[in-house]
Chain A
Amino acid sequence: MAKILLTDDDPLLIRMYQKKLEIDGHTVETADDGVAALKKVKSFTPDLILLDIMMPNMNGYQVLEKLKADASTKKIPVILLTNVGSSDEDVEKGLDLGAVAYIVKAENRPSTVVSKVKEILAGYVRELPKVKAKLKA
């Protein structure tokens, strides 16, 4: 359905999310660090970017800043997909930098992530996922 750029330095998780997104009908490209991600954005022109925060060379926040600074990329919705934890400071920082959502990987199963992606694509809604609820799939 849509073109999604998946950025994460962990190959296991890349494989997992890619599979789930492809099952749902999306076209997925991957990048394993910030530098690769920025390159891919230019060539792949995704409709949505899933972005990890803890990565070598360039972390997710830095990538986000660069994306939003560039006129050609700043309109692409970015979901921060991370395991750093959801303390107010981290979430606020991400949303302030322009992300539309902040999802903690460990708290949300792949199916939830995919639902969120669909939601964003449908409405481009900004969200504050402050309270975590354990939804058993």
Chain B
Amino acid sequence: MTPLVYLGILTLVCWIVIIFLHSIKKSLTLIPLFTFISLSTLLGQYLSDLNYAVALGTFSLHVGTVAFFTSVLLGVLLLYLFEGPRGARLAMWVINGTTVLYLAVIGLMSSMIETTTVNFTWQSVVSNFWSIVAVVLDVFFMGITWELLSRKKGIPLFFRVFLVVLGTFILDTVVYITGAFSTIPAYTSILIGALEVRVILAFITSIFITLYLSAEGYKETGRDKPKNFWEILNFHSDLELKVATLSQVAQREKEINLQLSKFQQSLDAVSDQIVIANPKGTVIYANPAMETMTGYTRKEALGSKAGTLWGKQMPPEFYKKLWNTINNKKNFEGELINKRKTGGVYEALIKISPVLDDDGNIEYFVGIERDISRERQLERAKDEFLSMASHELRTPLTAIDGIVSMIRDGDYGEVNKNLVQPLDDINAASARLIALVNDLLNVSRIEAGRLKYDLAECDPNDDVQEVAGLLKGMLQSKKIDFSIQHCPPTMVVADKNKVKQVMSNLVGNAIKFTEKGLITVRLVQEPEQVVIYIQDTGVGIKTEDKNKLFQKFEQLGSDKSRQAGTGLGLYISKQICQKMGGDLWLDTSDYGKGSTFAFSLPRTGTTAAKAAAREIASEQHTHPDQKSDTDFIS
């Protein structure tokens, strides 16, 4: 075999080992190194043979396992440096395995083909056996030497490498030369000559290796270090490690399976319907509650497109919006009507969440549905009951209020002047009761989300005018002045009637609590909203009473003013303003001097206006039988 072929084989074997343990990328960077090493060892081989020739009288270039052996050993050293004992051990397995394989192949060949180029003799078997042993011993030696040198601080990398390499070479040479040439007289000169060669070889290869290590930014910390020297050769630990890893994996799998079964049990036990679908929408899991709710079996549901078996009761836009939302990786929440297998529909609250994997892609959808038919039915029944009750209450109240007013008007004959005040009082009380019935109905509607809002663009300036006109009588009878300060025409998004109601409530309150003076309504245009201030010169509000203002049934003021109100007006007005995207608050108040209340409405196109519209629309969707009852001034 020519030296070049030899070089090729050598590089290939080293390469195989490296690829085995590192990435292909890394092995590519090692090619130049190994090429240099191989060339060096060839040089060494040449020098060695020269040395033999001098001693033996004849020159022949031996292919020799020596050069091969040396290169491979240096490769193992590199692995030891990078990977630690485990890497080196693994390389040992590969090298020795390759050697055995080589023997087997050659043996087979020689038994099949008569060839003179390869000498398969008992001798070669023995020498290869010794080379296997030598690999093991050398790895051990290299490891010990490196660890010893590394524990001493301050020795430069090159010297460490050189000493390890040199030490190994010397050891090998001594053992080999002694083994091969101890019987011949030229033994000593061969030995010395060989050692000389080795020193040169060690030096050259150490340079290459150090350059390579520096170029790779070699750091000690990368590899695992043996705790003691015996660990360098500890084959047992490799096996142990493998077993430990395998058992760890098995243990982990068991834990995961246990957790999964726990989860499954939990989902199965939940009373709400849970359906899990893949990104395409195909059902991959449905819990038992789904069967109870929809009447379909889990078997029927699995594999179907989610929602098709028991759905299709809503307009197509609803489902379009649903799929759009969840496909955009957002949660969907809503109410819908579904159909049971046995026939009949039911109302359900549905929440669907997309679950994402580590890359942010949808892995599956989780949908939870709750049957709220009964709840909704109860709500409707309650609302109906309250409406009926209100109607029933209004009738006798109308009679009381109306007849007393007629008595007072003199329709039943002249009224004794002693009766005037008591009759007025009855009138006031009955009027208040009527207002209370209205307010109660409205509070109930507001809290159940059943108060209907008719949102449109309007200009609050117009509404103030109207309200002023309607309350003119009250103002005149109390002799209070009234003025309006308009703002430039501005469009807001609101329910016009409710705006007027709120204004009437606040102006009415102002009139109620003011004996004399002035009530001013001032409109202010702001970037996002219009604020309407209602200022009076009335009794004002004490500091300690200020937080009671917007609570239900809290009424302030003297008995006279309390008689006219229900205690719900401000609460209702505030709820309404907030629902429309604005608010209602007490701006300022000085006890004895007067108060200023204010409420705001969002301007067209603002975030607040859009959010309010969305919420109102959603509420309307949930309660299609909302009522827009507009009497609740108190």
B391-411 contacts to A (CB < 8 Å): 391, 394-399, 401-403, 405-406, 408-409, 411
CB-defined contacts of A84 to chain B, threshold 8 Å: 391
* Cβ A131 vs Cβ B405 within 8 A: no
Q: How far is the CB of A85 from chain B (nearest CB, A)?
A: 5
* Cβ B395 vs Cβ A10 within 8 A: yes
Query: A109's closest neighbor in chain B, by CB?
Result: B405
* Cβ A88 vs Cβ B504 within 8 A: no
Query: A107's closest neighbor in chain B, by CB?
Result: B631
Q: Which of A11-19, A25-33, A42-50, A66-74 contacts B (4 or more CB under 8 A)?
A: A11-19
B366-401 contacts to A (CB < 8 Å): 387, 390-391, 394-399, 401
A88-137 contacts to B (CB < 8 Å): 88-89, 104-107, 109-111, 130-137
Q: How far is the CB of B277 from chain A (nearest CB, A)?
A: 40
Q: How far is the CB of A95 from chain B (nearest CB, A)?
A: 15
Q: Which residue of the partner chain, among B402, B435, B628, contacts A16 with CB atoms under 8 Å?
A: B402
Q: How far is the CB of B512 from chain A (nearest CB, A)?
A: 11
Instruction: Give the size of the chain A interface in residues (CB under 8 angstroms).
Output: 31
Query: B564's closest neighbor in chain A, by CB?
Result: A134
A39 interfacial by beta-carbon distance below 8 Å = no
CB-defined contacts of A135 to chain B, threshold 8 Å: 473
A136 to B394, CA, bound (A): 18
A70-88 contacts to B (CB < 8 Å): 83-88
Instruction: Give the size of the chain B interface in residues (CB under 8 angstroms).
Output: 45
Q: Which residue of the partner chain, among A10, A87, A109, A133, contacts B452 with CB atoms under 8 Å?
A: A87
Q: Which residue of the partner chain, among B398, B399, B627, contacts A89 with CB atoms under 8 Å?
A: B627
A136 to B478, CA, bound (A): 12
Interface of chain B: mostly helix, strand, loop or mixed: helix
B454 interfacial by beta-carbon distance below 8 Å = yes
CB-defined contacts of A20 to chain B, threshold 8 Å: 406, 411
Q: How far is the CB of B404 from chain A (nearest CB, A)?
A: 9
A23 to B406, CA, bound (A): 10
Q: Which residue of the partner chain, among B397, B427, B452, B630, contacts A106 with CB atoms under 8 Å?
A: B397
CB-defined contacts of B398 to chain A, threshold 8 Å: 13, 83, 105-106
Query: A134's closest neighbor in chain B, by CB?
Result: B633
Q: How far is the CB of A86 from chain B (nearest CB, A)?
A: 6
CB-defined contacts of A63 to chain B, threshold 8 Å: none
Q: How far is the CB of B470 from chain A (nearest CB, A)?
A: 4
Q: Which residue of the partner chain, among B395, B474, B477, contacts A83 with CB atoms under 8 Å?
A: B395
Q: Which residue of the partner chain, among A13, A88, A111, A133, contacts B409 with CB atoms under 8 Å?
A: A111
Q: How far is the CB of A11 from chain B (nearest CB, A)?
A: 10
A54 interfacial by beta-carbon distance below 8 Å = yes
Query: B434's closest neighbor in chain A, by CB?
Result: A106
Given A89-B627, A131-B500, the answer on whether A110 and B406 have CB atoms closer than 8 Å is yes
* Cβ B391 vs Cβ A12 within 8 A: no
Inter-chain pairs besides A13-B398, A106-B401, A137-B427, 19 sampled, C-beta below 8 Å: A10-B395, A12-B395, A12-B396, A12-B399, A19-B406, A19-B412, A20-B411, A54-B391, A83-B391, A83-B394, A85-B391, A104-B631, A105-B402, A106-B434, A109-B402, A131-B504, A133-B470, A136-B474, A137-B408
The 3 tightest CB contacts between A and B, nearest first, are A133-B470, A83-B394, A106-B394
The 26 listed contacts between A and B (C-beta, < 8 Å) are: A12-B396, A13-B398, A19-B406, A19-B412, A20-B411, A83-B395, A84-B391, A87-B627, A87-B628, A87-B630, A104-B631, A105-B395, A106-B394, A106-B438, A107-B434, A107-B631, A111-B409, A130-B630, A131-B630, A132-B630, A132-B633, A133-B473, A136-B477, A137-B405, A137-B409, A137-B427
